[in-house]
Amino acid sequence: MRLADSRRRLRAAVICLALLLSLFGGRLLQLQGLDATAYATEAAKGRMTTVTIPATRGTITDRNGIALAATVDAFDITADQTLVQHPRATAAALAPVLRLPAAALEATLSGTRRFVYVAKGVSPDVWRRVRDLNLSGTDGLPGIFGEPTSRRTYPAGTVGANLVGFVGADGHGLGGVEYALDKSLAGTDGKITYERGPGGRRIPTGETVGRDAVPGRDVTLTIDRDIQWMAQQEIAAKVKETGAKSGTVIVMDPRTGDLLAVATAPTFDPANPGAAPEAARGNRALTEAYEPGSTGKVITASALIENGAVTPDTPIDVPNRLRRAGKTFKDFHDHPTQKLTYTGTLAKSSNIGTILAAEKLGLPRLYPYLKAFGVGTPTGLGLPGEASGAVLPPSRWSGTTGYTMAFGQGYSVNAVQMASVFATVANDGVRVAPRLVAARAGADGTMHATAPSPRTRVIRPATAQTVRLMLETVLGEGGTAPLARIAGYRVAGKTGTAQRFDPTCSCYRGFTMSFIGLAPVDKPRLVVAVTLQAPKSGIGGGSTGGPVFRDVMSFALQTLHIPPTGTRPPGLRIERN
Amino acid sequence: MSPAEAARAAASLPTPGPARPPSARPGLRPRLSVVPPLRGPAPRAPFVLLVGGLLCFGLVALLFLHTAIAEDSFRLHDLTARSTVLADREQALDQEIADVAAPARLAARATALGMVPSENPAFIRLSDGRILGHPQPGRAPVVKAKPSAQPSGKPSAAAANRTQRKPTSGASSTPVPAHR
């Protein structure tokens, strides 16, 4: 009996043990076999952390590599209001470091929200000082955190602002080159997932997966920062002095089409674009189309000389009034009938003289030259909001259109197009399309020069040289722009005082005053175009634009080390006796 | 093997000469000799020590390896932090340089030193020493577009101009007439 008893007991124990073991086995199978992935994922989730690696935005530099827009590391300082135990003391500690009023900080820190921004985009140094702060007995400020981010800075301030543009809160370009080349400047964000210990350190043998950020590509502009600065200074001062609505200065190398400066006034601070009106943030040199006025006579002169319709010495008698197509044309000033040469009609900027000369060729034949000089065709710079201007073909002309076109009214251009017209004359008749981007970084970060601009011949070299000599008289005795002279240099140019079409009233109101010139005449290296929209004072383009031209051109000649050629002007006659 | 067989085998072994089958001469008794004592079991201690030593060595090596990896990780962490601090500092210094080198700042400092913009660009050609252009002494920017609001600023600027010019006039007086 006892023996059987113990045997049964043993059997029962074995069965129990087997049951228990198979239970364990089953559970093991369930854990390791069936639910393994789910549990592993959950465990990994606790250890693994994913961090976005923001791509650094490409730098925009001037032609000499000086940064106009760069991205720097920064921190957003955030707070978890529920963790801030002493909002008043915390605010008092933060205020001097962040340079923010303590009362406002206290309001930001008080409440029950788990996440608020305290300050955005502070420098790493400021964040370090915040981190080193502590209230009595605590390590750091409880509830205050720093999130690494990046900030776009514009080291040159307003220099080139309207050209370089600005970025929005999301870091993407909203204006200028920042907008036009946003895709390649932005790059692609990367991310990394790794196992970390409780202290946040990466576990060395742990698993790490991720992909690197692709940094944005740098861009080198054709702009020269110093010339750009000078041009902006000068035009801003002139706009203020004359009470003009706006003004632009363009400095261009006629041989390459490179834009060395595109200055506009008023301008804005790209670090704080919201403070400026929208009109001040665009690039007026491209977005504003206007009727050029007398500067357009250069196109007429080129067409006439190219076709042999006139020579610089062709006599032209200019009456005070001229009636054509039912309208009476007049010059800027009243005058008795003048005995001029064709050169004289340019030097004195006579509308009537220009009409009389243009009639020798036939007005419709001006049209192909307007088109060839680039009027009505986009500049190809690719910047946002360009107004490419417009010119009507002869078939759509009204009675007076042809006559007004001869002296630069009745069609529209933007300032860069007009500078390009003079650059074509400066470059011996070969038009080189304007260029703004000198080089762009490739995928490996090395800079590659952009392709040279397309070149098209518009007029013969001899024609261009003759036109330049005629334009030299504009700055001479009896010309309209003696204030544009630069001692020692041979300078040619043309004034423009155009009636300005005002879209707000759809009528002509006020003037567009301009001076566009080139130097040196016998070996042109630079073109400077100054335009003032609706100045309240000033008599004409020569007296308002001329001095700005002189100062910017002298500065650019010095900056680029362009010596005078030392030759003498041939002394074309402007008046007959 | 029975003891007798063993003894026989042991006896037969040291015998020189050709071995004869024992059955060949059954009447002859083999000589007996002392069997060398069997070797006792190998001592256990060295083996235990060896295995124990290997185990310890392995463990210590593993420990060192882990310590080294962890140390490297700490070093990496510290160096990364240091690199970040240095990069931040470089960035801050770069920004400072950019601020100081900005054209507006340079122009303001030059004006404060009594310098004026040169209105007439001129060059000296080194090959023959010829002056290109018409250099003229700088003039105080009275006719410039910026009408100065404070009249007190003018004399002080002019004074700065004079004081700046005085020490250099002796040195620069010789080349100036040569330009004319």
Question: Which residues have CB under 8 Å from A163's CB, separation 6+?
Answer: A176, A177, A221, A223, A228, A262, A283, A383, A436
Region A202-214 average pLDDT: 76
Parse chain A into domains and list their residue ranges. Answer: 225-559
Axis-axis angle for helices A102-109, A87-98 (nearest 10): 130
Structure tokens at A165: 């543009």
Q: How many CB atoms lie within 10 A of CB A366?
A: 23
Q: In the prediction, which pLDDT does A475 show?
A: 92
Partners of A489 on chain B (C-beta within 8 Å) are: 121, 133
Q: In the prediction, which pLDDT does A120 show?
A: 84
Whether A125 sits inside 8 A of B92 (CB atoms) is yes
Whether A72 sits inside 8 A of B122 (CB atoms) is no
| pLDDT greater than 50 at residue B168 | no
Partners of A229 on chain B (C-beta within 8 Å) are: 103-104
Which of B73, B84, B125 is closest, CB to CB, to A204? Answer: B73
Instruction: Give the integer Cα–Cα distance in Å for A470 and A421.
Output: 16
Of A59, A260, A275, A288, the residue nearest A160 (C-alpha): A260
Residue tagged 């235990």 (tokens):
B48
Whether A73 sits inside 8 A of B132 (CB atoms) is no
Instruction: Give the integer Cα–Cα distance in Å for A522 and A193.
Output: 66
- What DSSP designation does A33 have? I
Structure tokens at A349: 């900027």
Q: In the prediction, which pLDDT does A571 show?
A: 81
Kind and range of the H or E element at A177?
helix A176-180
Task: Spell B141-171 as b/e; 16+ CB within 10 A means b.
Answer: eeeebeeeeeeeeeeebeeebeeeeeeeeee
Instruction: Give the integer Cα–Cα distance in Å for A348 and A344.
Output: 6
Whether B103 sits inside 8 A of A234 (CB atoms) is no
| pLDDT greater than 50 at residue B163 | no
| pLDDT greater than 90 at residue A80 | no
Of A382, A559, A553, the residue nearest A453 (C-alpha): A382
Instruction: Give the integer Cα–Cα distance in Å for A503 and A533.
Output: 13
Residue tagged 């952390």 (tokens):
A49
The string of pLDDT tens digits covering residues A253-283 is 999 999 999 999 899 998 888 888 888 888 9
Which of B72, B99, B134 is closest, CB to CB, to A488? Answer: B134
Interface check for B87 against chain A (CB to CB < 8 A): the answer is yes
Q: In the prediction, which pLDDT does B37 show?
A: 75
Residue tagged 């080189």 (tokens):
A432
- What is the DSSP code string of A87-133? HHHHHHHHHHHHT--HHHHHHHH-SS-S-EEEEEEE-HHHHHHHHH-
Whether A201 sits inside 8 A of B95 (CB atoms) is no
Q: Which of A133-137, A295-299, A566-570 is the most confident on average? A: A295-299
Q: For testing the chain B interface, which of A269, A554, A559 should be mutated: the one with the most B CBs within 10 Å?
A: A554
The amino acid at residue A119 is A
Partners of A125 on chain B (C-beta within 8 Å) are: 88-89, 92
Region A172-181 average pLDDT: 91
**What residues of chain B, 103 to 122, have a C-beta less than 8 Å from chain A?**
103-104, 107, 117-122
Q: In the prediction, which pLDDT does A40 show?
A: 81
Please give the span between the terminal C-alpha atoms of chain B, in angstroms, as a whole number: 135
Pick the CATH number of A225-559 from 3.40.710.10, 3.50.50.60, 3.40.50.10420, 3.90.550.10: 3.40.710.10
Nearest CA in chain B to A561: B123
Q: In the prediction, which pLDDT does A537 show?
A: 83
Axis-axis angle for helices A87-98, A124-132 (nearest 10): 150
Interface check for B68 against chain A (CB to CB < 8 A): the answer is no
Partners of A550 on chain B (C-beta within 8 Å) are: 119
Whether B99 sits inside 8 A of A125 (CB atoms) is no
Region A176-197 average pLDDT: 86
Q: In the prediction, which pLDDT does B175 show?
A: 35
The string of pLDDT tens digits covering residues A543-564 is 899 999 999 999 999 999 999 9
Instruction: Give the integer Cα–Cα distance in Å for A479 and A546.
Output: 12
Q: How far lies A231's CA from each of A109, A150, A200, A311, in Å?
A: 47, 31, 53, 36
Q: Which of A31-35, A403-407, B20-24 is the most confident on average? A: A403-407
User: Of the residues A6, A136, A294, A302, which is catalytic?
Assistant: A294
Q: In the prediction, which pLDDT does A556 show?
A: 95
| pLDDT greater than 80 at residue B125 | yes
User: Does residue A294 have an active-site annotation?
Assistant: yes
Q: In the prediction, which pLDDT does A190 show?
A: 85
Which of A156, A201, A234 is closest, CB to CB, to B102? Answer: A156
Whether A201 sits inside 8 A of B77 (CB atoms) is yes
Instruction: Give the integer Cα–Cα distance in Å for A420 and A405.
Output: 18
Which of B87, B88, B133 is closest, CB to CB, to A488? Answer: B133
The string of pLDDT tens digits covering residues A448-489 is 999 899 999 999 999 999 999 999 999 998 888 999 999 889
Q: For testing the chain B interface, which of A201, A490, A559 should be mutated: the one with the most B CBs within 10 Å?
A: A201
Which of A229, A554, A562 is closest, CB to CB, to B103? Answer: A229
Please give the span between the terminal C-alpha atoms of chain A, in angstroms, as a whole number: 157
| pLDDT greater than 50 at residue B116 | yes
Interface check for B91 against chain A (CB to CB < 8 A): the answer is yes
Partners of B134 on chain A (C-beta within 8 Å) are: 487-488
Beta strand pairing call for A116-122 and A67-79: antiparallel
Instruction: Give the integer Cα–Cα distance in Å for A528 and A415.
Output: 11
Whether A155 sits inside 8 A of B145 (CB atoms) is no
| pLDDT greater than 50 at residue B178 | no
Partners of A238 on chain B (C-beta within 8 Å) are: 145
Instruction: Give the integer Cα–Cα distance in Å for B123 and A488.
Output: 10
| pLDDT greater than 70 at residue B180 | no
Partners of B77 on chain A (C-beta within 8 Å) are: 201-202
A to B CB pairs, distance under 8 Å: 92
- Give the mean pLDDT of chain B: 71
Whether B146 sits inside 8 A of A564 (CB atoms) is no
Nearest CA in chain A to B101: A156
| pLDDT top residue among B9 and A527 | A527
Q: How many CB atoms lie within 10 A of CB A551?
A: 25
- Give the mean pLDDT of chain A: 89
Whether B70 sits inside 8 A of A204 (CB atoms) is yes
Q: In the prediction, which pLDDT does B164 show?
A: 38
Per-residue confidence band for B142, with pLDDT thresholds at 50, 70 and 90: low
Whether A73 sits inside 8 A of B87 (CB atoms) is yes
Partners of A551 on chain B (C-beta within 8 Å) are: 117, 119
Which of A238, A487, A555 is closest, CB to CB, to B136? Answer: A487
Whether B121 sits inside 8 A of A230 (CB atoms) is no
Partners of B102 on chain A (C-beta within 8 Å) are: 155-157, 159
Q: In the prediction, which pLDDT does A237 show?
A: 94
| pLDDT greater than 80 at residue B61 | yes
Instruction: Give the integer Cα–Cα distance in Å for A437 and A541.
Output: 30
Per-residue confidence band for A296, with pLDDT thresholds at 50, 70 and 90: very high
| pLDDT top residue among A167 and B143 | A167
Per-residue confidence band for A162, with pLDDT thresholds at 50, 70 and 90: very high
Q: In the prediction, which pLDDT does A267 show?
A: 92
Nearest CA in chain A to B147: A241
Whether B98 sits inside 8 A of A73 (CB atoms) is no
